Amino acid sequence: MTINLGSIRAAVLDMDGVLWRGPEVLPGVAEFFAFLREHGIGYALATNNSTKTVQAYQERLASIGIPTTPEQVITSAVATADHVRRHYPPGTPVYVIGDVGIRQALAEAGFPEDSAAARLVVVGMDFSLTYDKLKTAALRIRAGADFIGTNGDLTFPLPEGIVPGNGSALAALQAATGVKPLVIGKPEVAMFEVALARLGVGPEAAVMVGDRLETDILGAQRAGLGAILVLSGVVSAEHARESEIQADAVFEDVADLHRAWARALELTR
């Protein structure tokens, strides 16, 4: 697919590697979002991280010059709660492995935690994961509870090296129960469907901007959005050229995308 930026009405953006890299804010970020607002182009931020709350992201975004409403911040926790709300009656008891992000999202959606009666097991990244938690989850899944994972990332990078991500906990539970989880985060389409619904546009009028081929770019293509890779995160230009997953467009960073988008709008005027 070739993207005509002049006809795009909304953008879904990944955050880490696109807006910032660890503590460092990437160049031209505030100016790019000012440009989107100036041209009436909608935006949402989407992350597979289920540990933090929407409010925590909104505060960080505001601190670097990106104003958002809560609806514009879509974590895998929020998308999971959205899915649960659409598919289960209110009050369905859940067993949750995870941090404050997923716990708050499910509680606000009206799903109480009850490890003894859970009809649904939801697993997000948990930095305090224990054998007892895996045991409770496995027993509930074996008793017939549905099994949902916020995101399937097997690993993630820390300064000391590559460490287990939520997908590794899901794999442990799948091994213990023989049940495959339903996964919500990128590259699954559920995240993109939530974003498009909130932006009020169809996939053909939207782009995804991300730095990871196997989540952001693959997911955008599955969901039918234009897939824009930026090289400001984990993927090098060489890796992008050689990968089986090919983005529809590649830019150095959002400042580079901003310049191309501004030119495209000039031409369509």
Using rule CB under 5 A, residue 17 touches Mg ion: yes
Per the DSSP assignment, residues forming a β-bridge with 60 are none
Out of 82, 99, 146, 211, point to the residue binding Mg ion (CB under 5 A): 211
Of 1-9, 16-24, 55-63, 90-98, the segment contacting Mg ion by CB under 5 A is 16-24
Q: Which is nearer to Mg ion, 78 or 118 (CB)?
A: 78
- C-alpha 147/C-alpha 174 separation (Å) is 9
Q: How far is the CB of 222 from Mg ion (least distance, A)?
A: 17
Q: Which residue has the closest beta carbon to Mg ion?
A: 17
**Residue in 47, 27, 79, 102 with CA at minimum distance from that of residue 255:** 27
Q: Token match 């990944």: residue?
A: 14
Q: Which of 149, 160, 85 is nearest to 121 (CA)?
A: 149
3-class SS of residue 150: coil
Q: Judge if the upstream peptide bond of residue 23 is cis by omega within 30 degrees of 0.
A: no
- Binding to Mg ion by CB under 5 A, coded x per residue (else -) over 48-77, reads ------------------------------
Contacts with 94 (C-beta within 8 Å, 6 or more apart), sequence order: 84, 106, 111, 112, 113, 114, 118, 119, 120, 121, 122
- In the complex, least distance from residue 15 CB atom to Mg ion, rounded to whole angstroms: 7
Size of the residue set binding Mg ion (CB under 5 A):
4
Q: How far is the CB of 175 from Mg ion (least distance, A)?
A: 28
Between CA 124 and CA 166 the distance in angstroms is: 6
Name the residue nearer to Mg ion (CB basis): 19 or 106.
19
Q: Which of these ranges, 13-21, 126-134, 139-147, 188-196, lies near Mg ion under the rule CB under 5 A?
A: 13-21
- Work out whether 82 is an interface residue with Mg ion (CB under 5 A): no
**C-alpha count within 13 angstroms, C-beta hemisphere, residue 208:** 32
By DSSP bridging, strand 73-75 and strand 42-47 are: parallel
Place of tokens 């400001």: 232
End-to-end CA gap in the chain: 23
Mask: binding to Mg ion, 156-195, rule CB under 5 A, as x and -?
Answer: ----------------------------------------
**Residue 132 a catalytic site member:** no
> Given candidates 16, 99, 153, 188, which one binds Mg ion under the rule CB under 5 A?
16
Nearest-angstrom CA–CA distance, 192 and 12: 8
- Under rule CB under 5 A, residue 253 binds Mg ion: no
Out of 14, 153, 188, 253, which residue is the one contacting Mg ion (CB under 5 A)? 14
211 given a catalytic annotation: no
Cβ at position 176, least distance to Mg ion in Å: 30
* In the complex, least distance from residue 112 CB atom to Mg ion, rounded to whole angstroms: 33
Cβ pair 123, 183 in contact under 8 A: no
Segment lying near Mg ion (by CB under 5 A), choices 26-34, 140-148, 190-198, 206-214: 206-214
The answer to whether 170 and 180 are in contact (CB under 8 A) is: no
Catalytic residues: 14, 16
Binding site for Mg ion (CB under 5 A): 14, 16-17, 211
